[in-house]
A and B are shown apart, each in its own frame.
Chain A
Amino acid sequence: MASITLKGVSKVYDNEKKVVEKMDLHIQDGSFTVLVGPSGCGKSTTLRMIAGFEKPTEGEIWIGNQLVNDLVPGKRDISMVFQNYALYPTMTVRGNIEFSLENIKIPKRKRKEMVEEIAEVVGLTEYLEKKPQHLSGGQRQRVALARAMVKKPEVFILDEPLSNLDAKLRGQMRTELIQLHKRLGTTFIYVTHDQVEAMSMADEIVILNKGKIMQQAAPMALYNNPKNTFVAEFIGTPAMNVLPFEEIRVDLNIENNPAITHFGFRPEHGRLVHSEDPQIFTLRYPSKIITRETLGSETIYLIENKLGRQHIKSTEPPLSEDADLALCIPVEKIYYFDRQGNRVEKENEAFPYTLQNHEKGGVKI
């Protein structure tokens, strides 16, 4: 087992496009770390540099206490599950799993034992003699996992491994991967663009954008304490509503404060009430529903009011679309951001004093 450390790693391609920029990253030994971000954010490049398929333009990559910049992929003690699985199409499932063992000259009897043990774990025993093209997507996925596992590597790298599976299978494989990580206790690095995957599987999430780390934290920490609007809007379905601060500044009786330009609140924290309901919140805006998605256990509304458009998530029975409604925003659930999109926290001296009082409760004063 090994931790992974990136020190000031950059990757610049021939066309001088910086894909990864001065990245400092520490991935803890035995953790399940998910690199997540929109396409083109540099997550795959980061992964490929760790695996050794790409050389960093500058910086150092450490696996455990070994500097691996000049080490070929085979010597890094890494296993990888590729997005398209990259199974050897001319070999059987057994051949695929066995291949790396043959390469390091493990005796035949021992090999057979190891392959069969792994096949048992991933439930492939009856498919061992089949070729990959005769397997379903989920089974191929398992072969790829088995092939990676049989080597007993220090680090597991998974590059969007579930993106080719259908929704149901993806959910199932997610749980299986979590269990697998628990059992193996190996360091897992997992790349995805799907924040749901990231939230549901990770011990730690690294959010990337344009080659830079936006935030690295545990899933709930990210959710509750986003460091910037990018993270706030990336995590959560629907995303956090981020709106100009000016409108609520007046309603909250705050003096002009140049440090704060935007505010945000999570869709599930906004509340839709009928306009005749008693006024208990400071921030209350008459709104109308634009669209309504009823998902069974919850309903997602897209509403419009003088702040703009927002998403609201509610677990209460669906409201009729033409109802006369108002949106209430509990003040203690509001996040504040500056011009650069960075979070302005309570401890920050730019944080308006008047708001500190609101933090004690959203009840109208």
Chain B
Amino acid sequence: MSQDLLSHLPDNQPVAVTTRRSVSRDFLRPYIMIAPALIVFLLFFLFPIGYMIYLSFHEWNFISPEKTYVGLENFKRLVADPLFLEVIRNSLVYTFLSVFLTITISLALSLWLNKKGWIYSFIQGAVFSPHIISLVSVSMLWMWMMDADYGLLNWFVEKLGFEKVPWLTDPKFALISLVIVSVWKSVGYYTLIFIAGLQSIPKNLYEAASLDKTPKWRVLTKITLPMLSPTLFFLTIIGLINSIQVFETINIMTGGGPVNSTKTLVYYIYENGFVFFKLGNASAAGVILLIILTILTLIYFKVLSKKVHYQ
């Protein structure tokens, strides 16, 4: 053991220092050094997760002193609850739509904006600006824009000669409307990361491709996209993880309605926990969210180490 601990020392280090006392001190020192960070981590990360898992097997209303153990009852109830299934469906639809649209639009934008010239920098800045606005302001802004009667969007829609769209008040449109807001907010940031990725592709490859008489679409599919795959993959996973946790826009813009059509997992957890005080239910849903996120993260690292090309 002491050998292992000291193996990082140079060979010519005097062996005399390996007395029992100094070994134990050497053993402890790194732990003392990281103790502050470790305590914060345990207290604010691991403990809440553990407590959530604990609560998911109990029934509790936040106030009463006793927590009743119910085993897997909370989970069983969730799985049987049609509302919860709709919540999961909403979350998945929202997540995949917003990630797919954000990635596609920002990829297209980055391919267009990856040029020199003030106009491109300007557009890049303009597209990026929503990213620095707080989600609450964004939500308020879009609530006004999407207002069925006085909103900017419907003004345009009417000008174009169509019927007004009930953006946030019709179950058919509400989730899509939230996706639009999410895409609008994140496209700039994604574009920026994509441009950084594009700029790290060696120019020589494109020169070689031009000597090889490569048609444009083949340059895109055979060189740009494969070389961009690390960025593409990174953004996809980050997007999935972020979107599945969507909360602020829903809380402000729709409150999960109309008719639960925009109720997603995190909003469901919030509602159960802090509105209905069904802590057991909320925790069980939280555990399910945790499992989904864990799977996504695992996929991220697994695929990262294999499929994606890294230079």
Contact = CB atoms under 8 A, between A and B. Distances in A.
A318 B116 CA distance: 60
> How many interface residues does chain B have, given as a range?
20 to 34
22 contacts: A51-B207, A51-B211, A52-B210, A73-B207, A73-B211, A74-B214, A75-B213, A80-B211, A86-B202, A86-B205, A86-B208, A88-B205, A88-B208, A88-B222, A99-B212, A99-B222, A100-B211, A100-B213, A103-B218, A104-B213, A147-B212, A151-B212
Q: 6 tightest CB-CB pairs across the interface, nearest first?
A: A86-B204, A100-B212, A90-B226, A74-B213, A86-B208, A73-B210
Given A73-B207, A82-B207, A84-B202, A89 B212 contact: no
Given A82-B207, A82-B208, A84-B202, A90 B309 contact: yes
Interface in B210-238: 210-215, 218, 222-223, 226-227, 229
Interface of B: 202, 204-205, 207-215, 218, 222-223, 226-227, 229, 309, 311
A53 B206 CA distance: 10
A25 to B, nearest CB: 21
Given A90-B226, A99-B222, A74 B309 contact: no
B214 A89 contact: no
A78 interface: yes
Given A89-B309, A99-B222, A84 B204 contact: yes
A73 B118 CA distance: 28
A151 B210 CA distance: 13
Interface string A122-153: 00000000000100000000000001000100
A70 to B, nearest CB: 15
Nearest to A53: B207
> How many interface residues does chain A have, given as a range?
20 to 34
B210 A82 contact: no
B188 to A, nearest CB: 28
B311 A89 contact: yes
Main secondary structure, interface of B, reads helix
Contacts of B205: 86, 88
Interface string A95-114: 00001100110000000000
A133 B202 CA distance: 15
A79 interface: yes
Most buried by B among A88, A133, A147, A151: A88
B212 A74 contact: yes
Contacts of A75: 213
A133 B212 CA distance: 21
A74 B210 CA distance: 5
Contacts of A91: 222
Contacts of B208: 80, 82, 86, 88, 147
A141 to B, nearest CB: 14
Contacts of B204: 82, 84, 86
Given A99-B222, A103-B218, A86 B207 contact: yes
B228 to A, nearest CB: 10
A14 to B, nearest CB: 11
Contacts of B211: 51, 73-74, 78-80, 100
A72 interface: yes
Contacts of A90: 222-223, 226-227, 229, 309
Contacts of B223: 88, 90
Given A74-B213, A89-B311, A103-B218, 15 more contacts: A51-B211, A73-B211, A74-B211, A74-B212, A80-B208, A82-B204, A82-B207, A84-B202, A84-B204, A86-B205, A88-B223, A90-B222, A90-B309, A103-B212, A103-B214
Contacts of A100: 211-214
B197 to A, nearest CB: 14
A32 B311 CA distance: 34
Contacts of B226: 90
Most buried by A among B211, B229, B309: B211
B89 to A, nearest CB: 37
Contacts of B202: 84, 86
A206 to B, nearest CB: 22
Contacts of A78: 211
A90 to B, nearest CB: 4
A62 to B, nearest CB: 18
Contacts of A72: 210
Interface in A51-86: 51-53, 72-75, 78-80, 82, 84, 86
Contacts of B207: 51, 53, 73, 80, 82, 86
A51 B206 CA distance: 13
Contacts of A51: 207, 211
B311 to A, nearest CB: 6
A151 B214 CA distance: 13
B115 to A, nearest CB: 16
A151 to B, nearest CB: 8
A86 B226 CA distance: 15
Contacts of A151: 212
Contact of B214 (A84, A99, A133): A99
Nearest to B208: A86
A86 B208 CA distance: 7
A86 B9 CA distance: 42
Interface in A166-221: none
Contacts of A104: 213
A74 B215 CA distance: 10
Contacts of B218: 103
A51 B212 CA distance: 12
Nearest to B205: A86
A84 B215 CA distance: 23
Nearest to B229: A90
